[in-house]
Structure 1
């Protein structure tokens, strides 16, 4: 299957949201956060597995002037669940400590040093949560946001002189693993997509030495031209005779310089356009500016149509899996589609 996939005429773009979560898991393994996270999981499990303990915790939350909320158990396959577990424990530090002081248990209590570590870990994971939700959101997300997102993560993981040893290990492991995974990604596709996105065409996510290479590559692609899509009923033109072909080649050589100048002007006009806001859909922007940049607009539709993540599709599969169960296996495909549509509408109504 892998060999067959490599033989297909398609470019492979890995799911960046999955990559970030794998990098975080690797950084946890190589840093010194395992022990404190193990304490957190056991404390959360102590309340999760006992309704009486949970009720006592909620009563103490009310007495401390906090809202009643359950603790969150982190799950390896549930993104950002570790961050949410840390936040809930820190927010309910006093009720949790009071409840554990009144109950019989053999749990290792969190010390002030542990809470300090959790606070630093929350600071480290917050940019990862933002990028993961940006790349794995329900709205359209182009692969052109990948390079700026990864650049933002790498900047937040720069080692400072005041960082403790465990923070340095986490940042070093995170940066090393992320750079390694970047090398195995289709970087040229991502660079061209970033340049064709009116929000990130300044290419500040790349070193200055690489920006010129991207625009040069884009210029060569414009000169070569990409094959235009043909309808199923299109009739191909017959091959011209050899003499006519020779004459055409002679004429094309004299016009090659003019074509190069035209291509450079096309790129300069695009560079001179105002930057689009971060909330702008790049495909809608190109649809509105296709008349001014016809060649670039055709290329942008191909590159910006590439999704950065498979998360929305996987969420849709999971939703359909919850609907089509053993007891509901007789549902018709039409009713399944209607139920999935209603579920989406109800979710949007809750958000509003």
Structure 2
């Protein structure tokens, strides 16, 4: 049963001739049960075992949990699923990620239906609303209204917001839209013609270039469009040589090639940021610093601005519009200042006093029964960071940190204020440092770090879950029941936690 779940195998594999021959070869005395036994007995048993283990993880003195949720529709059958993933930090400051639900979601996706579904999901796990720190969702109106009506704290997915900002600021520009359309025609020509691709391969060999396929983009993913343009730019010489002898449905002019190059330079920091916030260790603490660094980079003039100045200005405006209230969001602010890589260095001077006061109030609760005389342990040592490339996103992080190392005010002599001032007076740790390792060494000082660093900044976990769902609900299993599909997905995502143990 583990083999079927972990390797995306259909339940019918136990009746396949090749698998039966393998089992017979390993032990001819063994009688392999049929598919019905695995479906009706083994699958529910393994599901219950994994469920019990995940439940024990979440009840191990966990007081605050971050969630993600999204809706997915299968392409091979009329089935929609609603996801719920959880992330929390245990007592040893170790990050734990689990999948709770990927259940069938029938009917219209109204806010009312979503409220009922979330109520059922939290009830199934015995999770009170007090433990729900935040739910990361997409930007759709029905999901936003459902969170509001259910009185559940929620935030939009940062990756989705970036997607909307890029679409508004760049992809909607006429000159760029024309280039993207031409690029799709070029890639489509080679994708649908083996002869054309064979000719391109021959030219690549003659030019001494590596044999690479051109990459097709997905219109709903702006970064895939960047990858497509990058693949075209890499093959510029080969494509120019190809068009000299053969026909293409479209081709870039010299000015368009330059515009492609500059547009890639403009969007590279967005791609860099998307990769950063989509990592398994990204948290709500990354939102304010990354947006501050991104906007500062967009405000600077660069040599590659030729032809994209309007797009750059529009893009800056779109980013500022989408993220204008992030410093006012309590969760983002406290998570950022509790991250030893950032502290209060990325806040504007106007809001720093309020942010420090807000955190001081949060810390006072956890320090009421502790002595606040000693300072925090020094941040962990490690190799020095590489000097960031000029004009890159990481260079903006370094620029924002430069010269802003002042100590916090010591006017208030309360225990919480003393601890806060000690903490803020220390240098930040390296950008590549590990906040949870830092707080593992200092967990007795600021217990609130466990609560605020458990929140994610994107709903990527739910999107990865649906990638798994797409591998399970495929052409060979398009009649799989929703109940069995959820059990298979649940085991696939959570069983590795037990195996690591």
Question: Normalised by the size of structure 2, how large is the TM-score?
Answer: 0.56
Query: How far did residue 144 of structure 1 move?
Result: 0.5
Is 1:13 matched with 2:155?
A: yes
Q: Answer yes or no: is the 8 Å Cα contact 1:31–1:167 preserved in 2.
A: no
SS at match of 2:231: helix
Which of these residues, 437, 443, 458, is aligned with residue 309 of structure 1?
Answer: 458
Gaps of 5+ in 2: 1-110, 112-143, 369-410
Query: How far did residue 101 of structure 1 move?
Result: 2.3
Name the residue aligned to 2:167.
25
Which of these residues, 184, 188, 199, is aligned with residue 41 of structure 1?
Answer: 184
Which of these residues, 407, 420, 437, is aligned with residue 267 of structure 1?
Answer: 420
Query: How far did residue 167 of structure 1 move?
Result: 1.9
Matches within 5 A, 1:81-100: 81-100=224-243
| CA shift in 2, pair 1:343/1:326, >3 Å | farther
SS at match of 1:33: helix
SS at match of 1:208: coil
Gaps of 5+ in 1: 228-257, 345-352
| CA shift in 2, pair 1:80/1:307, >3 Å | same
Q: Answer yes or no: is the 8 Å Cα contact 1:62–1:68 preserved in 2.
A: yes
Could you report, residue by residue, the CA deviation over 1:86-144 in whole angstroms, capped at 9, with x for unpaired residues? 21111111111222222234x3321211111111111111111110000112x221110
Query: How far did residue 286 of structure 1 move?
Result: 1.4
| CA shift in 2, pair 1:326/1:114, >3 Å | closer
| CA shift in 2, pair 1:259/1:116, >3 Å | closer
Q: Answer yes or no: is the 8 Å Cα contact 2:163–2:222 preserved in 1.
A: yes
Which of these residues, 110, 115, 121, is aligned with residue 257 of structure 2?
Answer: 115
Counting matched residue pairs gives 307
Name the residue aligned to 1:102.
245
Query: How far did residue 215 of structure 1 move?
Result: 0.6
Provide the rounded CA distance (Å) in 2 between the counterparts of 1:215 and 1:184: 18
Provide the rounded CA distance (Å) in 1 between the counterparts of 2:146 and 2:256: 50
Q: Answer yes or no: is the 8 Å Cα contact 2:147–2:153 preserved in 1.
A: no
SS at match of 2:252: coil
Q: Answer yes or no: is the 8 Å Cα contact 1:33–1:166 preserved in 2.
A: no
Could you report, residue by residue, the CA deviation over 1:248-289 in whole angstroms, capped at 9, with x for unpaired residues? xxxxxxxxxx99622211111222344222233323321221
| CA shift in 2, pair 1:200/1:164, >3 Å | closer
Name the residue aligned to 1:217.
358
Is 1:135 matched with 2:135?
A: no
> Which protein is richer in helix relative to its size?
1
Q: Answer yes or no: is the 8 Å Cα contact 1:17–1:309 preserved in 2.
A: yes
Name the residue aligned to 1:160.
301
Q: Answer yes or no: is the 8 Å Cα contact 1:223–1:259 preserved in 2.
A: no
Is 1:323 matched with 2:465?
A: no
| CA shift in 2, pair 1:333/1:109, >3 Å | closer
Which of these residues, 187, 196, 205, is aligned with residue 53 of structure 1?
Answer: 196
Q: Answer yes or no: is the 8 Å Cα contact 1:41–1:73 preserved in 2.
A: yes
Query: How far did residue 163 of structure 1 move?
Result: 7.0
| CA shift in 2, pair 1:182/1:95, >3 Å | same
> Which protein is richer in strand relative to its size?
2
SS at match of 2:312: helix
SS at match of 1:13: strand
Provide the rounded CA distance (Å) in 2 between the counterparts of 1:334 and 1:21: 32
| CA shift in 2, pair 1:11/1:144, >3 Å | same
| CA shift in 2, pair 1:211/1:92, >3 Å | same
Provide the rounded CA distance (Å) in 2 between the counterparts of 1:332 and 1:180: 40
| CA shift in 2, pair 1:115/1:226, >3 Å | farther
The alignment's C-alpha RMSD in Å is 2.9
| CA shift in 2, pair 1:326/1:110, >3 Å | closer
Structure 1 stretch 282-291 or stretch 178-187: which is displaced more? 178-187
| CA shift in 2, pair 1:18/1:336, >3 Å | closer
SS at match of 2:466: helix
| CA shift in 2, pair 1:31/1:167, >3 Å | farther
Name the residue aligned to 2:429.
276
Provide the rounded CA distance (Å) in 2 between the counterparts of 1:221 and 1:132: 30
Could you report, residue by residue, the CA deviation over 1:139-160 in whole angstroms, capped at 9, with x for unpaired residues? 2211101111111211221153
Q: Answer yes or no: is the 8 Å Cα contact 2:472–2:485 preserved in 1.
A: no
Query: How far did residue 208 of structure 1 move?
Result: 1.9
Q: Answer yes or no: is the 8 Å Cα contact 1:194–1:200 preserved in 2.
A: yes
Query: How far did residue 7 of structure 1 move?
Result: 4.1
